[in-house]
Amino acid sequence: MSARELAEAIGGVPSQSTIENIELGRKAAIDVVQLLNIAMALRVPLSYLLAPIGNPDAPLDLPGLSKEFSSMSAIEFDAWLSGISDGSRIPTSLDERNAFAELQALREWRTRTAETSRLETMLELERSALNSTEGLYLRSTEERLTESRREVERLARLLRSAGWPVK
């Protein structure tokens, strides 16, 4: 994609000349919105633009970052940026550890909620097409749905206790 095409895909902010200056290293700082727009237009995760992901063990090399980033590899930075606890640096405070745990619970809650909805639809379809040989499948789906609902509620209670507005 050329600088012109990228600028057009983003809607002109940043401009073609700004994109060219970034590519040539003449402009090192852009705002977060511009960076997010560039990543979305290129259809790549944000970390692809910020870290040498092709070399996951390489040290992070972004000028101006605080010293806490200096020991991070590219893949650790990606995990930290994504809020993933596995593979990321170890949180250094209780607040940071809680923030990671809450984000993980929120992701899991969202996934489980979607799975519960899928199982509800599946059970409804099984009930409408039930014949004597499908009773085993029906019980299996009911059991999975019950377990999924229990897990959604457990995660919702955890998130609500941390102040998240989940249903």
Q: Please state, for a pLDDT cut of 70, what percent of the chain lies above it.
A: 90
67: in domain = yes
Q: What is the pLDDT of residue 1?
A: 84
CB crowding 28-62: b at 16 or more within 10 Å, else e: eebeeebbebbbebeeeebbeebbbbeeeeeebee
Residues 70 and 7 in one domain: yes
48-72: pLDDT as tens digits? 888 887 788 888 888 788 888 888 8
166: in domain = no
- End of a domain among 82, 114, 132? 82
Domain span at 9: 3-82
88: in domain = no
**149 vs 132, more confident:** 149
| Count of structural domains, the chain | 2
DSSP assigned state of 91: P
114: in domain = yes
Q: How confident is the model at residue 119 (pLDDT cuts 50, 70, 90)?
A: very high
Residues 36 and 75 in one domain: yes
**115 vs 140, more confident:** 115
Main-chain dihedrals φ then ψ at residue 90, nearest 5 degrees = -80, 125
Residue 159 has pLDDT above 80, yes or no: yes
- End of a domain among 53, 82, 111? 82
What is the arithmetic mean of pLDDT over 102-120?
Answer: 90
Residue 87 has pLDDT above 70, yes or no: no
Paired tokens of 61: 């090399």
pTM for the whole structure? 0.59
